[in-house]
């Protein structure tokens, strides 16, 4: 099985297909490398596409210890690119993967041709940050005491997941059957370390304003925890565009695969043509 090795010795499982300019897909907390299959099949017709499972998600390693910080996660993505000899790639991330993509834009912008940030920013509201982190710790304990299968039963009807259930019950069922098979220890450590420990994007305003990497922000209009964060990033990322998917929740790439693929394809095409610039100051309204 193909693996890349991170700087702290963790083996990361990846798959790739296609030829051309690279696209790296970064999955969300409840997903793994398999959940990008609709995008791998579509974009590999014209690009070299790579998907991987983050640390804590088999068949990648599930290391012990406090090695699940947001820094570990975004540098793991870079380790995959390094292993494959890829200097720069388009980054397509959902939720946790979108946060990691943004961190690459902040800390290693030379590695990102573009950033697609889908379902980004949940848990960032400063007024609710303590409650969010407390809930993440509680969720981690659930994984440790109940196991992944029981947690999947509890979380499958979370508010931002309901639009997926309504539109595509079979796809929703498959998604949560996959979550039920996740390594419970890896999920608990990720929930406690990454989800519950990452800085709020609202604390990074100045740094975000300095990221000129082309960005496409995608948000479901019924994914309420991400709407405000998406608008915030649109306001402060200099080269950002915002796409709001109607009647949509969090799992955008599976809930609306055709619309997701069309939106990302148009974005990537414009970036590669040099037609996705930073915002023209003349378009800013005077206040």
Host domain of residue 240: 3-278
pLDDT of 284: 84
Q: Which residues pair with 145 in a beta bridge?
A: none
pTM for this entry: 0.97
Please, are residues 100 and 55 in contact by the beta-carbon 8 Å criterion?
no
3-state percent helix, strand, coil for the chain, nearest multiple of 5: 50, 15, 35
How much is the average pLDDT of 137-150?
A: 97
Q: Which residues pair with 243 in a beta bridge?
A: 218
Residue with tokens 């790579």: 50
How much is the average pLDDT of 98-126?
A: 98
> How many domains is the chain built from?
1
Q: Strand 48-52 vs strand 89-94: parallel, antiparallel, or unpaired?
A: unpaired
Inter-residue long-range contacts of 234-238, CB under 8 Å, 24+ positions, other chains counted: 236/205, 236/208, 236/209, 237/208, 237/209, 237/211, 238/209, 238/211, 238/212, 238/278, 238/279
For the cut 70, the answer to whether the pLDDT of residue 286 exceeds it is no
For the cut 90, the answer to whether the pLDDT of residue 176 exceeds it is yes
CATH number of the domain bearing residue 117: 3.40.50.1820
Query: Is 284 within a domain?
Result: no
pLDDT of 1: 82
Calculate the CA 225 to chain-centre distance.
15
Mean of the per-residue pLDDT values of the chain: 97
Query: Is 267 within a domain?
Result: yes
How much is the average pLDDT of 97-122?
A: 98
For the cut 80, the answer to whether the pLDDT of residue 69 exceeds it is yes
pLDDT of 287: 54
How much is the average pLDDT of 203-230?
A: 98
For the cut 80, the answer to whether the pLDDT of residue 285 exceeds it is no
Query: Is 99 within a domain?
Result: yes
Q: How confident is the model at residue 95 (pLDDT cuts 50, 70, 90)?
A: very high
Query: Is 199 within a domain?
Result: yes
Query: Is 285 within a domain?
Result: no
- Please state, in angstroms and as integers, the Cα–Cα distance from residue 267 to each residue in 30, 92, 189, 214, 277, following that order: 26, 11, 34, 9, 11
For the cut 90, the answer to whether the pLDDT of residue 103 exceeds it is yes
């Amino acid at each position: 099985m193909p693996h890349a090795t991170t700087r702290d010795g963790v083996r990361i499982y990846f798959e790739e297909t296609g030829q051309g300019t690279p696209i790296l897909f970064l999955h969300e907390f409840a997903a793994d490398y398999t959940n990008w299959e609709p995008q791998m099949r579509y974009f590999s017709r014209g690009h070299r596409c790579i998907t991987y499972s983050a640390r804590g998600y088999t068949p990648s390693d599930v290391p012990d210890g406090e090695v699940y910080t947001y820094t570990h996660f975004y540098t793991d993505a870079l380790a995959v690119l390094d292993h494959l000899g890829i200097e720069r790639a388009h980054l397509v991330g959902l939720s946790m993967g979108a946060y990691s993509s943004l961190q690459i834009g902040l800390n290693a912008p030379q590695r990102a041709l573009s950033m697609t940030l889908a379902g980004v920013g949940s848990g960032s509201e400063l007024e609710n940050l303590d409650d969010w982190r407390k809930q993440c710790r509680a969720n981690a304990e659930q994984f440790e005491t109940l196991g992944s299968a029981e947690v999947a039963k509890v979380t499958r009807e979370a508010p931002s997941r309901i639009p997926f259930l309504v539109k595509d019950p079979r796809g929703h069922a498959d998604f949560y059957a996959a979550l039920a098979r996740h390594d419970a220890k890896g999920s608990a450590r990720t929930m406690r370390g990454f989800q519950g420990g990452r800085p709020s994007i609202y604390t990074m305003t100045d740094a975000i304003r300095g990221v000129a990497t082309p960005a496409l922000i995608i948000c479901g209009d019924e994914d309420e925890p991400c709407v405000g964060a998406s608008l915030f990033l649109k306001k402060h990322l200099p080269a950002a565009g915002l796409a709001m998917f109607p009647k949509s929740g969090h799992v955008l790439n599976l809930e609306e695969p055709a619309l997701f693929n069309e939106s990302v394809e148009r974005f990537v095409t414009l970036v590669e043509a040099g037609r996705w610039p930073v915002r023209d100051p003349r378009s800013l309204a005077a206040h």
